[in-house]
Structure 1
């Protein structure tokens, strides 16, 4: 059952009906361990009211009752050319295995540092925890001020008949140089792509993509990507001459920043 933070859960909010009855014996041992992490339960207005395991939050039997948790999606761009870093989720992943997606997508946990809502400090702290775990980026290269919060989306996406996602997902851009040493239990491949290269990937039948990444790319990513590149050019970035850098901070306080966008 969900654990309340400071008050009893109102009757109108969903309470998980299925958790320990689903066996994880056939899944990867490390991925099973991660399923015990404690996600933050939220209302459709993104008000935190409790916590439960990652396993419980991702079972469709609970999602279908309305169980909703908080998440984040990082889009990390290379400053010299504005290319986006993609990752391909490992075959071992329990949800959405072997799919291409944005740089890093995960969940803030129900711990003190990741529950802080002011200036999105909690989700930024979670990103700084997960980027090293998944992609081997040294934590010393990651600073909260380098993550530019743009908006949050409410979406629902089944993975298969058993698992899925139902999240309020905080979207953050970052433009920093990083070193990669990918964790093969989390990520099977990673590469930087331009807009045109990403569009080509989407058109190729052999590629599959996470549903949240497809949603964000369809409605949000390309306009923000264009805006970031154009405003960075105005501030001195010139790819041909190798001058300046792409800077996500030019998007701060731009259109739709801070809105909660429903994609369900």
Structure 2
């Protein structure tokens, strides 16, 4: 653990998570246009969020191709924002580097998602091709984590259906769970609402279950594998404002 000298905002946090706070996120206007880069720390301080600071993010929903189950992760206790909460498979930020700033067909976001699936869950990039991600829409939301930290993001939602091997990083993920739609609904009723991240609850309430049902309904031959790319006609480029 570190006291980080005079940096009271990071005092006592995990060294690796403090290091990640120096990553350069993509700062946006409300129409998802690049303005500049900003540190992950700067983008997640509520004092800056309250002044309107907004950044780009993504949320990956990975489904098993055979069963159609969704992979959930529980964020590690070491995480600075929203620790120990259940959420979708992988949630993070593209970085303000050339490869992840590229916007055509969300290629920069896809590269970031591929990178973070390996970092957080140990999924080899060889198992996740960039063209396997199905982009569906973007949401604009704001959510405080505690008095100091929070999120204010335009979040790209990506579905993925590939077989994977998992080797989660204990510094990022403390648990994983594969669930059916009914199992997820039961879990969300059983656990305290505060056990789930706010973006996951927003996506689940508005989009996830209808899309998931479409994914299951569109199985190959009616009973084969599920395929995220079968949902391409559901793609929506609008920014859904869910503040």
TM-score, normalised with respect to structure 1 = 0.88
From 195, 218, 221, the equivalent of 1:236 is 221
For the residues of structure 1 that align with 2:156 and 2:65, how far apart are their CA atoms?
Answer: 22
**Post-superposition offset of 1:44:** 0.5
Q: In the TM superposition, what is the alpha-carbon distance from 1:205 to its structure 2 partner?
A: 3.1
What's the Cα RMSD here? 1.2
Q: Does 1:45 align with 2:25?
A: no
Of 216, 221, 232, the match for 1:252: 232
1:136 — aligned with what?
122
Shift of 1:34: 0.3
The question of whether the paired residues in 1 share the 8 Å contact of 2:63 and 2:69 is answered with yes
Question: Which of 226, 233, 236 is the matching residue for 2:213?
Answer: 226
Instruction: Give the Å deviation of 1:163.
Output: 0.2
Give the 3-state SS of the residue equivalent to 1:55 in structure 2: helix
- The answer to whether the 8 A contact 2:9-2:148 is kept is no
1:89 aligns with 2:69: no
Aligned counterpart, 1:214: 201
Deviations for 1:213-249, whole angstroms, at most 9, x for unmatched residues?
Answer: 00000000011001111122xx3142xxxxx200111
CA contact (8 A) 1:72 1:106 kept: yes
Matched residue pairs, number? Answer: 237
Counterpart check, 1:164 vs 2:150:
yes
Cα distance in 1 for residues equivalent to 2:100 and 2:64: 26
**Whole-angstrom CA distance in 1 between matches of 2:86 and 2:7:** 30
SS in 1 for 2:74: strand
Distance 2:16 2:83 in 1: 14
Secondary structure in 2 matching 1:152: strand
Q: Which runs of 5+ in 1 are unaligned?
A: 1-19, 239-243
Asked if the contact 1:78/1:176 (under 8 Å) is kept, the reply is yes
Deviations 1:118-157 (A, max 9, x none): 0000000000110010000011101111000000000000
